[in-house]
Structure 1
């Protein structure tokens, strides 16, 4: 089975088709979460419409969604009514791992893949997890199988973040957000998650002073390892400064969800994506979320800066 065939199979076994449907049905084409064109954005300024919003009211359609996958919380405008100003920023999550970190006979052909994920713009701490506490069912699904939309019949991480305290807006970066994947030059797996080394996700969000960003994607191949922001998230706009512009990878780390034992080395176990036959396959660990650096499972993992590069760019 070729790498392209394996990545296509990942769509079915991980529930990635749910993410495909989600990216295509919320808001139609051309929203904050959807990228189109050589620079990965839709329109000259990276947004859809002259003011960066879809429609006069700043929302896309009647369902309260902004962009293909984003749920808006508080509307923030800059005007005489005293409400907070806001700007759009573009988030880029690029897979910078080497294509041969693991042996060629592993389930990904030696590469590290990064799945589509969920994000939140929030105040306070990272709303995706609490270190030392059990992972939510939505995070378990993402960490074990990849889909930010959850196991069948269960709430996904995108649903959990939508109802979380201190979250202003949240959503999923999905196949439509894939702006580069040089390891699929012929388009054999069009828009397919996960991205291989050299691929990237991009999405845009509106932020105001004090806002922070957190996100999570599965690290493939693994039992339940994921890449996410540290407990404080990524500061997008300091209260006493300007919107952040540049590399923010130092606020990102690899974590273990504590939901499934790391029984075999990455890429060799039958209960690991993409080799598993079902998304919720494997023994229950009944553990807690920990930094991967604190997990002594005897296996080899790259440093987070050798897996992803995360950048923020005001648009």
Structure 2
């Protein structure tokens, strides 16, 4: 059935006739056009839907009215609900560290402007996050990319993040050169305990690729879900941690960050749907402001 024909039937039945319906339609349409399209509907269904003079619905018309009336009556309400949903509900996919350490203050500021803010936060790796965005199952993705952000991807780069190690000062390593020096004495193998994120996370995968290019072998002893957990275990003496330099984030006394010399930084990016939702754009603005404030700071 033609949905437009059903809409015309709804208005004619609601108003009690074609003439009255033509005057109250939400868009301009002439009586002859309404009449011809209703005739087409009756021909398609093979029934008479209403008597013209005086106007009254037939039994078939009453059955159709019971079907279409709830839907068309609630159309304006449905539109309002959808608009409200888009203006108060934000769906974000990001890896755990961003959700835990980077987003809370941004979301808190957004909530101060949108008190009825509702959030759906998905802890996912990059490939899953971008798949969710492509399927329109999230509004915004925060992720780490290896190279520049593709021009085909709506969004922007926020921060460059150096890849390196958080090591206890007691180990005596002052730079990445000390790591390489130790490996040379062990046929490229580094025997110190290493703590990393899961191997399918971009930072871990890129770190292992970089080691392989340099002829170094260093397997993870402990795999954790977030950088916060990684730092906890480094502080407890379980090993050193493969970490991204997070501007403004203090690692605490007794630890130091050693960047991998000659390794290109990774990029923290925000990507949104096309078209983006207003809330997603507001969140990107918050992220941009925070990134600008952090950009010139370093781990301490």
Name the TM tier (shorter chain).
Answer: under 0.3
Question: Under a length normalisation based on structure 2, what TM-score does the superposition of the two structures give?
Answer: 0.26
Larger radius of gyration: 2
Which structure dedicates a bigger proportion of its chain to helix?
A: 2
Question: Under a length normalisation based on structure 1, what TM-score does the superposition of the two structures give?
Answer: 0.25
Higher relative contact order (CA 8 A, sep 6+): 1
